[in-house]
Structure 1
Amino acid sequence: MPVTRRQVGATGAQTVTLSFAGFNRAWAAWITDRLERHGVTVVQQRWDPPVELPLEDALRDLTLSRGRILVLLSDWYFQLGPRSHEEWNRALREVVVPDPDRFAAVTITTSALPGATSAFGAADLTNVGADEAERRLLVHLGLPADPLPEDAAAPPGPRYPADTPEVWGGVPRRNTRFTGREALLTDTYQALQEAGTGAGVVTLHGMSGVGKTQLAAEYVYRFGSDYDVVWWVPADRRALYRQKLAELAPELGLATGAEYGERLRAVRDSLRRGDPHAHWLLVLDGADEPDQIWDLVPTGPGHVLITSRNPEWSEHNSNLVEVPVYRRDESVAFIRRRAPRLTRTEADQLADALEDLPLLLDQTAGWLNDSDMSVEEYIELLSGGIDQDVVKVSADFPLAFQTAWSILLNKLRDTVPESVDLLRLCSFFAPGSIPVRLLKEMPSGELPEQLSGLMNDPLLWNKAIGQLRQYSVVRLESHESVVDEASSGESLYLHRMVHQIVRKDMPDHDRQEFIDVVRRALAAADPGRPTDTRLWPRYAEITPHLKWADVLRSTDTAVQTLVLNCLRYMYLSGEYRAGIKLGARAMTAWRELLGENHARVFDLSYNYANLLRAVGDYAGTEAIERAAVNHLRTERGPQDLEHLRAAGGLAADLRGLGRYEEAQELSSWILTSYRELLGEQDSRTLSAQNNLGTSMRLLGRYEEALELNRRTLEARRQLLRPRHGWTLYSEVNYATDLRLLGRYHEAQSVQAQSARVHRIVMGQDNPQTLRAEHNLALCQYRAGERNKAAVLFTRVLERGERVLGENDPLTMMFAASQSFFAREHADIDQARAISEKVVGGYVDMLGEEHPYVAGSRANHALILRNVGERQQAHHLLEEALIDMGRSVGESHPWTLGCAINASAVRNLVGDVESAVNLTDSVVTRATEVLGRTHPLTLSARIAHAADLRGIRDRQRAEKVETEALDDLVATLGAQHAHTVSARSRNRPYWDFEPQMI
């Protein structure tokens, strides 16, 4: 170190003022930490002098600071303003050169800096590791460079800025022209730091084009050293968001398989626990529909940063930080950095004309700098003073944007016309992330000549992308990419405003040609197996683009197959709402395009009906399926495979409508037909066997259902892989049948294992996983493990309401269980509130005559009984008993259960003779239907003993009770909750459980 330099502390002074550009905040934090560990007091002073202040005065003001002044030299330090190198050289010569002892500097850039910076004699921290950088810093300031002893109690300091976090993915490249926004960055940082554990969520909210994404990216680069994990996720579509979040699993080193659901579950659990990393930052970009993804926002010790046009995020435990357009001084600084040839006055005029909208400033200043057009001429164009075609888009876009885009598009056409072709191709994908690799993967023979050259010539491709990037029309998605990699890279990002205006401004002949290319690219990307959960991420990537490529108007069979496969994927993955929208549009389009009775229309109607049935629209699906059945039977005959498939859908509709006998007859005939046509082991035969088992269960024929589902499960385990979704579905059915037969421990053993695999393979929020966990809760409850059941009942209901909605058939099934559990073991007021919603929901969905309405009213009557409303309970139960008997028959287990409850209330209101006659009849019928030792029969026997005591027939009561208790001990065990309750002479009750159809 030169002897003329004053060492820090040489005269007792232990203070350094660190002057840095905000862009280099991470370096400032690291340098501050290193110096403070060596006993130096550091005062940070962000360098951003007002534009109107001469540089000489700004530097003189800096000398008023305490102690030695350490300047952090970077491109950004000298670009703020912006100021020319000539200005800087004059100021440095005037202020720094005469007083070298006050100044020291370190440099963190390899770019050319103003020549007079040599006066600093800066230490170079570039291209060295953390230890060497610290040594150079200390030596430069005259401090001992010996390593400090390790202090295990000391908190870890900031990460060395040249080192990225241990896990880093998806983050856009840093915008080296980022300007201003210092207050917004500070507000965001403080909001996240001050939030409690699990509440660190901030949403950057503002209109399109204000730079929310750029602000989030700058936050990542400026504060990323605070985190061990930084993961950027596009969040404009739920399916894509889930896919990208699942991709974090291997980066976190989580031991998972390749299954989509397993990875997603593991990631969310890891973030929640903060293991292996507690300091994580997740950025959700473009999350404009909170209701679609808010339930998937991770909680835990880390932070979540969201960009959105939707202020409703404030209703989901997120702090809102509003992002406005640029302040005028920010606009001027940005324009002058983007277009150095413009004066400050010209930049101010341009900013005023473009309404300070960052996206528009970026695009316009970029090409204006390359043009010889004056700002005055450009503003005249914007105001319409020169004849031109102005693209009209929508009222929510600033007029200046629409006009400016017309000018920019003409510029692109004149320079690199291929860039316009590429841009137009991209506009037939969904806005946001554009998977251009799908275009690159197409065989060259399938491309029109105009586009074949663009796709097959890497130089032309890169030139087109380079032109679009130069004018900020697109950006490369990965921060790791370089332009040369774009030819094989993953995707480009196209802003929503640009996307919409490009689609609008396109000749008709180009529109048809380009849209056909995108359709074929999407069809070629179809994995072809929507039932394979391992391929769901690929379908999640494809489905958002179907609408924009207008695939429903295509007559290409490959494109039509893609639509059907995507609908199947949406059904299996639980994306019901999106699937129903697509299915409804497809039905209208294909009927018009292909005709009412085209084979593709029947394929479509089958998949569309599955989605409608999943949300409980059984009457609607019956109309669709019955029309298909009638037509196909007439045209092709009853043994036609398409007819059998439609008939299977109709049987499911009949089950949903409560017409179980009809459904069973139809299901039985379908199974026989499949066996004759395809044999026992065909997957369609097994599906028909599964459906017949469901019909048998709904009829109360549990032994027959168990045998059918056992055979189906064994065959699917052999024919399909054990973790296939259909195999798992059969496991739930088999465990359900075991439980309904009173074989609780067997059922719980099967279901516990199956629920675990469901979470891994399907994902914890998949409807089938929710059903598996609900059945596990019922198994736990019936087996007497009430604490475990309580937790699981609540968790499943909460997730069902979030993921599926309160009126979904599955959610209502979960709510019914939560209600009857709460009635006996939790909060009677909660039970009543939930029960009222369940009854009303089933009436609205299914009508007054449906057995689920009778069953849910029977459950509600027990709540009324418990709160002392005996007459109302009696009236409601008698009605439920009559309605249930009319719906499913006098000997159905549901009717017998209603009768057990009705007899109890008859006793309460003094009708004891009627009660004993009723339970006597129930015991006889239950024994015939279910057997002497079935739990329902045992409950009826215990209830009958209580009724006999009510009429003072103690001898018969003692005999019936003793025999029933002996059977309870033999069947369930002496310590089972039902046995203990019966021994204590607590009258048994029955809970109606809605079943899947």
Structure 2
Amino acid sequence: MAEGSVPNQETVVKTDPVPIFRCDICQATYARPGDLNRHLKKHTRPYECDECGSRFGLRSDLDRHRRALHRSIVTNRTYSCSMLGCTRSYIRKDHLIRHMKSHRKETTHDKLLDEGHDHAPHESATSSNTHSDSSGLLWAVPFPRNPSFVGHQEILDKLHHCLETNDVHRFALSGLGGIGKTQIALEFAHQIKDRRSVFWVPTFNVDALQQAYTMIAHELQIPDSEKEEHDIKRLVQYRLSQEASGPWLLILDNADDMDMWFGNDGQRRDSQTLIDYMPKSSKGTILLTTRNMKVAVKFAGTHIFPVKAMDDTSATQLLDRSLINTLEEINILEDENRKEQIIQQLGSLPLALVQAAAYINENDIRLSEYLSLLNDKEAVIELLSEDFEDERRYRGTKNAVATTWLVSFDQIRDLSPLAVDYMAFISCIDPDAIPISLLPPVGSRKKELDTIGILTAYSFVERNSHGDHLSVHRLVQLAMQNWLRNQKLLAFWIPKVISRLNEIMTIDEYGSFESWRRYFPHARHVIVLAGLRQSAEINIQFLEKYGLFLLADEDFKEAERTFEVLIQEANIQLGPDHHITLDSISNLASAYRGQGRLAEALALDIKVINTMKTVLGMEHPSTLNAMSNLVSIYQNQGRFAEAEVLEVEALETSQKIFGSDHRFTLTKMSNLAVIWKKQGKLTDAEKLEMQALKTRQKVLGLMHPSTMTSMNNLATIYQEQGLLAEAEELQSQVVERAESTLGHQHSLTLMSMSDLAFIYQEQGRFDEAEHLAMRVLQARKITLGSEHPSLLVNMDNLAFIYKKMGRFEEAGKLVEEILETSRKVLGPDHPYTSASSGNLALIYRSLGRLKEAEALTYEIDSYTKTPRDAAWIRLEGAMVVEDKIQNELFA
């Protein structure tokens, strides 16, 4: 007999039941010719979809494809078998019932062995679909148990508690698509199946729901359920509502469509909706899974369990269980580190982790290779959009995580165009800590709340505990960015976001940049998304504000890059003599100064001041600001006499232009007092600062930051004069007022606390000084991060206190950390790095570690060549923050 041919009936009867019919294409063998013919159709694929051209071996596969993807009305074969691996479909319901009965007869020992269930008879070939046991409990669940399931124990415990107390008969799992709701429900179903009958109904479309109800009716042995005139959902509802049905759990999966469940916009209609078919029984419980919180609330009231991303431990276990591990990583520790990075990049999202493992397994690649793809945004989108096989997800549906979210997004688009605009806006900014005030105004607070409510209902965004900030999952944001890019809308939304940021990032009522801090990460994000050059082309004023905040925040390297681009673009758009172009050059000099590149800063600032005097005039605010920058450079170089001359000139000009009571004039006055203090002219400094303070109290009030800055300066002058009691009293007032007005983490608050700690230290109150300095250090770490230049000053302050207390070991460890960070952040040639080397060498000598002290000789020599000593470095470092506050107050 030729292989691949179909024998006549007589031959089949005489043939031994060993599979002998072989496919010529793939060499698969079959025992029956019908099986071979059905298999051959999968190769020839005779059925073509008229919508998209996809081809299928069986008509039933084509019908399911059209229903799932094209929502076409299929007039034939609308009842398909839900058994795993079976592709049969039928026109009539009774034919499907008859077919399902045949499945129940196919549980021979050979089939059990083939499907790997010989060691677990209770998990038989039909256990993943339908069966009943001797206890009379029924099981109609389409999926086998997930051996990779981990985590979510708290939710499972709550579900068990609800079931045991029997107080609640409806509850819901709600969360983002791919977060693991279906898998939690599946695990729960398997855990309680020896105590209750379990029925599973997928509700993502009408056909799947109808088929599931057909199977449940069959399991319940409802008479005449196959007749067309009967409403099978009503029959199942009636049967399960009877106490005789015993204890049961009904799982309604993917209940996302509000219209399907409750009618249009959640309002009840005259026609029947799914909520009308819910059975009620003291022995029955219904568990619903949904992406739509509004559906969950309407269905289950307060009995909702939000599903969040997995914790790191559970995520690692899931990834481990999902990987085949055919490749051995070179280093086990590196392997674990890469897993952690993958989990972090995927936001501990279960579906994304399973999809990642499937890709790694199928392509036989290393974790490091997959991680490199995750670091490429375009590759991430491709990975998230790639479908994969999973026997615990529905046949005919797309499993890719990005596709899952697009389904939800399509539903949101139908509900609210404004919600789509919000998501487009959010996709262009930082995914965390999004102030609601940053979102585009919509004219109505209610409209804003309703729109945010839709996005939170689908778990696309989350609100913080105070309700004033939002966050979005990083992968959801990337998927939205990709959607915008595909729709040619990303280039439309980036300028809108930049325009909104430029509008909202204004100097506050105190003349300060402090209110910018919560918007700054979003400004940085959109600039990275668009690129510095494109951001400057879109809005020069916005990029200038961005650069000024970088200077105020002491991110001098990024400020340098920003102003370099800004200068080039301003030259093109505005011309070389425009004040924004010239301001940017002066600000670039400030960036150089912040990095310790004083010679470059000096040359650039002198050049731009000469240009400004010619083009803008001596009395222009830009010229006066540039002169202030030059004063700061002179102070950094210890050239106080030249700084004094320049500041006096700026003060006189400001008094002439703006008057003695103007904020700009008062800032110049306060700056001059600081210079006199550094020169040792303490009486003159006290008199001038007192004048500035009285005027600020009169014009601005006692609680204004500028007033408190003058109080702080005056307290430091008292401290230099040895008037410690007066200094303490004044500085304590500043701390108290700043905390109550500006908050515990404001830079002025922390600067004043730091100065108060020095007063305590000079009074010999070391414990109080240490406590206060530690508070400042911890607060700065929270607001600025562990490697911010200002943090070095706070660490140095604490180390100075330790040295005064004779705790050289602790001081040494802290200065070692200071030196390491300074080398990394400021560079090995920065004066502060040299000063830190000198401080550390002195501590080593005090500890008798002479060889280590000697190793720092070169840096100590470099340090001693500068006109500074350790105390001056420490004091000047503290003034970095003070100068920043003063510069923020420029008019």
Output the TM-score relative to the length of structure 1: 0.48
Task: Quote the Cα distance in structure 2 between the aligned partners of 1:364 and 1:590.
Answer: 44
Residue 789 (str. 1) matches residue 769 (str. 2): yes
Task: Quote the Cα distance in structure 2 between the aligned partners of 1:184 and 1:843.
Answer: 37
Residue pair 1:849, 1:887 contacting (<8 A) in 2 also: no
Task: Quote the Cα distance in structure 2 between the aligned partners of 1:665 and 1:582.
Answer: 31
Residue 206 (str. 1) matches residue 249 (str. 2): no
Structure 1 equivalent of residue 429 of structure 2: 430
Residue 103 (str. 1) matches residue 231 (str. 2): no
Map 1:453-852 onto structure 2 (within 5 A). 477=461, 495-498=476-479, 501=482, 517-527=496-506, 529=508, 531=512, 533=514, 537=518, 544-548=525-529, 559-572=539-552, 582-610=562-590, 613-614=593-594, 616-759=596-739, 761-762=741-742, 764-797=744-777, 800=780, 804=784, 810-835=790-815
The Cα shift of 1:493 comes to 9.2
The Cα shift of 1:698 comes to 2.0
The Cα shift of 1:748 comes to 2.1
SS in 2 for 1:775: helix
Deviation readout 1:550-602 (Å, 9 max, x if unpaired): 68657899x43333344444554667676555444323432344333321112
Residue pair 2:612, 2:623 contacting (<8 A) in 1 also: yes
Q: Any unmatched runs of 5+ in structure 2?
A: 1-136, 168-179, 224-235, 253-260, 263-272, 289-298, 320-338, 353-372, 376-382, 465-469, 881-891
**Closer/same/farther in 2, CA of residues 183 and 860 from structure 1, 3 Å limit:** closer
The Cα shift of 1:787 comes to 0.8
Map 1:350-389 onto structure 2 (within 5 A). 357-360=400-403, 362-363=405-406
Map 1:246-325 onto structure 2 (within 5 A). none
Task: Quote the Cα distance in structure 1 between the aligned partners of 2:154 and 2:753.
Answer: 46
Map 1:947-962 onto structure 2 (within 5 A). none
Structure 2 equivalent of residue 278 of structure 1: none
The Cα shift of 1:782 comes to 1.2
Residue pair 1:425, 1:518 contacting (<8 A) in 2 also: no
Residue pair 1:793, 1:817 contacting (<8 A) in 2 also: yes
Structure 2 equivalent of residue 91 of structure 1: 219
Give the fraction of aligned pairs with identical amino acids, expressed as a percent: 15
**Closer/same/farther in 2, CA of residues 849 and 360 from structure 1, 3 Å limit:** closer
Task: Quote the Cα distance in structure 1 between the aligned partners of 2:689 and 2:844.
Answer: 34
The Cα shift of 1:736 comes to 1.7
Deviation readout 1:456-505 (Å, 9 max, x if unpaired): xx9xx99xx99xx9xx9x9853689xxxxxxxx99999844445545655
Residue pair 2:385, 2:402 contacting (<8 A) in 1 also: no
**Closer/same/farther in 2, CA of residues 622 and 803 from structure 1, 3 Å limit:** farther
**Closer/same/farther in 2, CA of residues 331 and 106 from structure 1, 3 Å limit:** closer
Residue pair 2:431, 2:472 contacting (<8 A) in 1 also: no
Task: Quote the Cα distance in structure 2 between the aligned partners of 1:584 and 1:521.
Answer: 24
**Closer/same/farther in 2, CA of residues 183 and 992 from structure 1, 3 Å limit:** closer
Structure 2 equivalent of residue 302 of structure 1: none
Task: Quote the Cα distance in structure 1 between the aligned partners of 2:155 and 2:780.
Answer: 46
**Closer/same/farther in 2, CA of residues 623 and 420 from structure 1, 3 Å limit:** farther
Q: How many aligned positions are there?
A: 616
Residue pair 1:612, 1:621 contacting (<8 A) in 2 also: yes
Once the two structures are overlaid, the 10-residue window that deviates more, 675-684 or 853-862, is: 853-862
Residue pair 2:582, 2:612 contacting (<8 A) in 1 also: no
**Closer/same/farther in 2, CA of residues 714 and 538 from structure 1, 3 Å limit:** farther
Residue pair 1:745, 1:783 contacting (<8 A) in 2 also: no
Residue pair 1:431, 1:499 contacting (<8 A) in 2 also: no
The Cα shift of 1:659 comes to 2.0
SS in 2 for 1:887: coil
SS in 2 for 1:784: coil
**Closer/same/farther in 2, CA of residues 746 and 693 from structure 1, 3 Å limit:** same
**Closer/same/farther in 2, CA of residues 624 and 676 from structure 1, 3 Å limit:** same
Residue pair 1:836, 1:860 contacting (<8 A) in 2 also: no
The Cα shift of 1:668 comes to 1.8
Residue pair 2:651, 2:669 contacting (<8 A) in 1 also: yes
**Closer/same/farther in 2, CA of residues 593 and 333 from structure 1, 3 Å limit:** farther
**Closer/same/farther in 2, CA of residues 684 and 847 from structure 1, 3 Å limit:** farther
Residue pair 2:202, 2:208 contacting (<8 A) in 1 also: no
Structure 1 equivalent of residue 176 of structure 2: none
Question: 1:103 corresponds to which letter in structure 2?
Answer: G
**Closer/same/farther in 2, CA of residues 683 and 215 from structure 1, 3 Å limit:** farther
SS in 1 for 2:247: strand
Task: Quote the Cα distance in structure 2 between the aligned partners of 1:555 and 1:712.
Answer: 38
Question: 1:206 corresponds to which letter in structure 2?
Answer: I
Structure 1 equivalent of residue 887 of structure 2: none
Question: 1:626 corresponds to which letter in structure 2?
Answer: I
The Cα shift of 1:786 comes to 1.0
The Cα shift of 1:695 comes to 1.3
The Cα shift of 1:629 comes to 0.9
Residue pair 2:567, 2:581 contacting (<8 A) in 1 also: yes
Deviation readout 1:903-927 (Å, 9 max, x if unpaired): xxxxxxxxxxxxxxxxxxxxxxxxx
Residue pair 2:818, 2:836 contacting (<8 A) in 1 also: no
Structure 1 equivalent of residue 47 of structure 2: none
Task: Quote the Cα distance in structure 1 between the aligned partners of 2:280 and 2:499.
Answer: 62
SS in 1 for 2:302: coil
Question: 2:720 corresponds to which letter in structure 1?
Answer: L
Residue pair 2:640, 2:675 contacting (<8 A) in 1 also: yes
**Closer/same/farther in 2, CA of residues 676 and 329 from structure 1, 3 Å limit:** closer
Structure 1 equivalent of residue 302 of structure 2: 163
The Cα shift of 1:50 comes to 13
Residue pair 1:819, 1:834 contacting (<8 A) in 2 also: yes
The Cα shift of 1:537 comes to 4.2
Q: Any unmatched runs of 5+ in structure 1?
A: 1-15, 40-45, 128-159, 189-202, 217-307, 311-323, 337-343, 371-411, 444-454, 481-488, 889-893, 899-989
Residue 996 (str. 1) matches residue 889 (str. 2): no
Task: Quote the Cα distance in structure 1 between the aligned partners of 2:829 and 2:387.
Answer: 65
The Cα shift of 1:682 comes to 0.8
Residue pair 2:815, 2:839 contacting (<8 A) in 1 also: no
Output the TM-score relative to the length of structure 2: 0.53
Once the two structures are overlaid, the 10-residue window that deviates more, 764-773 or 106-115, is: 106-115
**Closer/same/farther in 2, CA of residues 78 and 94 from structure 1, 3 Å limit:** farther
Task: Quote the Cα distance in structure 2 between the aligned partners of 1:549 and 1:328.
Answer: 30
